Amino acid sequence: MSIPIPFPQGVTSLLKCTWTLELKTPLVIRASTSASIRNKSRVQKKGRDKQYDFRWEEPIDEKEWAAVRDFNYEFQAIENEDNGRKDEFKLKLQARYSIPGSSIRGALRQWTIRTLVKDDEMRLFSLPKLVTGESIEKAERMTKARKAVEDPENRWHDILSLFGIAYDLNPGVNDPFIWGGRLEMGTVALPKQEYMPEDYRYDKSDEGKKVNVIAPKNIKQNLKTRSPLDRVTMAARSGGLHSGLEMSEGQMLNIEFRILNPKPNDLKIIKLWKRDIDAGFIRFGGLTSQGRGKVKIERDSYSLFAVCKTPLGKAIGELGKEEIAEEFAGIWTGAELDFATVFSKNIMDTLNVVHLPS
């Protein structure tokens, strides 16, 4: 029994997974800022005449403009087409909606823990509640945690080996658990398209400030407004109206993640993810309680690489697939495989063997 600290003998194999996901329901990744909308027919006190003006900035006049929680975005420096003009920079900033890889990683990690870890061990690696005066048996908790993580039959062993851990409840007394995981989540690629929003129009009076010019436009989005009902009057709860931007369903996104020194249980975990993503159990982003963030894996491909002289390297070579690691010929070998092949007995058996070159 040992702690699954990764790479004791270095990295000898790698599994690259590429998934194309289709959004089956809208996706909500909240930004920390809001944009603003204004109903064109704002004089009316009832009805829902949905003709909105949109400004990509916080509401400037709260009587007229309402906040709408933005979708997560980032800035990119792009070439400034006006750079020939005086006082213009060569590059300019353009905002793009984006999905952080950590959102995907977090959802996968959380679901893996919930599905595999026994109920009575769920809180083994949680931080204790901050209750003043309460004494916590830190050493006892660290011992229990160590026992779980050292036991290869315990699912914490697999999960923490894959995702990594930083847990140090008793600094200076017990050895901490700190290592990086073998799973590396890449960025989430969105299609390079520009969409015109259907639910609102960019406010033209904004021209002077140009906030709408740099507003992100790279996803198809819908505006979701919610108005909880007061339980006593069954009318809209005063102050309860709120809106947010969602990435509309039907769009595709590509995610890529790599697992270093993959193990058989990693593949079992990937199989579990594939099943539970398609079934709707694993969801991404926020508001999942209201059905958001459901996706389907439309396409998945796997590239398996290994040091040539390892059992896995030999097994890959025996598959007779096209070599995809030519640049490292004689040192590494690689093949693009479907999941059934990756999950086949032959590959699984070799993954069980320590990956040292023979």
Partner 1 sequence: MSHNPNPFDFVPFDENGPQLKSLEEWMSYGPLRTGRIAVEMKVLTPVHIVGEQPMSGNNIQESRFFKRGDKHYISASSIRGALRAFIEAACNGWVLQLTPYYQKEKKKQTYGFKVVDSETPKNAKISKFLSSSCSIDQRFCVPPSAEQGIDLASFLFGYIPGKPVDKNQFNPAWKGRIIIDDAEVSSSQLSPLYDANHYKVPDLNNQDAFMGGPHPSASSWWYQFPKEIRRDQYGVYKFIGLGFRGRKFYFHQDPVNCIKYYNESSDWNKNSDGKDKLYFFPIECIDQNESVSFDIFFDSIPEQLLYILFFALEPGKKIRHKLGYGKAYGYGSIEFSMREVVYQDKGFVEPEAADLNAIRMSIGKQLSLFDSKDTGSIAQFLHRASLDVLSFILWYESSFKAIFSYPCAGEGGFNVDLDKQKRKEYNGILKTVIENTLRLNGVKVSNGNPGDSISLDKGEKISSNPFLFRYKPTLHFEVYQANSTLDKKIKAKRKFSYL
Q: How far is the CB of 24 from partner 1 (least distance, A)?
A: 9
Of positions 3, 116, 189, 214, contacts partner 1 by CB under 8 A = 116
C-beta closer to partner 1: residue 191 or 240 = 240
Of positions 178, 213, 241, 279, contacts partner 1 by CB under 8 A = 279
Of positions 2, 127, 132, 234, contacts partner 1 by CB under 8 A = 234
Q: How far is the CB of 120 from partner 1 (least distance, A)?
A: 10
Total of chain residues touching partner 1, rule CB under 8 A: 48
Q: How far is the CB of 291 from partner 1 (least distance, A)?
A: 4
C-beta closer to partner 1: residue 85 or 234 = 234
Which of the stretches 68-76, 91-99, 140-148, 279-287 binds partner 1 when contact is defined by CB under 8 A?
279-287
Q: Is 235 in the site for partner 1 (CB under 8 A)?
A: yes
Q: Is 96 in the site for partner 1 (CB under 8 A)?
A: no
Taking residues 332 to 351 in sequence order and writing x for each that binds partner 1 by CB under 8 A, - otherwise, the string is: --------------------
Q: Which of residues 124-183 bind partner 1 (CB under 8 A)?
A: 155
Taking residues 286 to 315 in sequence order and writing x for each that binds partner 1 by CB under 8 A, - otherwise, the string is: --xxxx--x---------------------
Which of the stretches 38-46, 75-83, 176-184, 345-353 binds partner 1 when contact is defined by CB under 8 A?
38-46
3/350 Cα distance (integer angstroms) = 21
C-beta closer to partner 1: residue 148 or 211 = 148
Look-up: residue for tokens 């096209």? Answer: 322
Q: Is 250 in the site for partner 1 (CB under 8 A)?
A: yes
Of positions 9, 44, 83, 126, contacts partner 1 by CB under 8 A = 44
Of 36, 31, 33, residue with least CA distance to 62: 36
Taking residues 49 to 68 in sequence order and writing x for each that binds partner 1 by CB under 8 A, - otherwise, the string is: xx------------------
Of positions 32, 205, 238, 358, contacts partner 1 by CB under 8 A = 238
User: If DSSP states are collapsed to H, E and C, what string results for the chain?
Assistant: CCCCCCCCCCCCEEEEEEEEEEECCCECCEEEEEEEEEECCCCCCCCCCCCEEEECCCCCCCCCCEEEEEECEEEEEEECCCCCCCCCCCEEEEEEECCCHHHHHHHHHHHHHHHHCCHHHCCCCCCCCCCCCCCCCHHHHHHHHHHHHHCCCCHHHHHHHHHEEEECCCCCCCCCEEEECCEEEEEEECCCCCCCCCCEEECHHHCCCCCCCCCCCCCCEEEEEECCECCCCCCECCCCCEEEEEECCCCEEEEEEEEECCCHHHHHHHHHHHHHHHHCCCCCCCCHHHCCCCEEEEEEEEEEEEECCCHHHHHHHHCCCCCCCHHHCCCEEEEEECHHHHCCHHHHHHHHCCCCCC
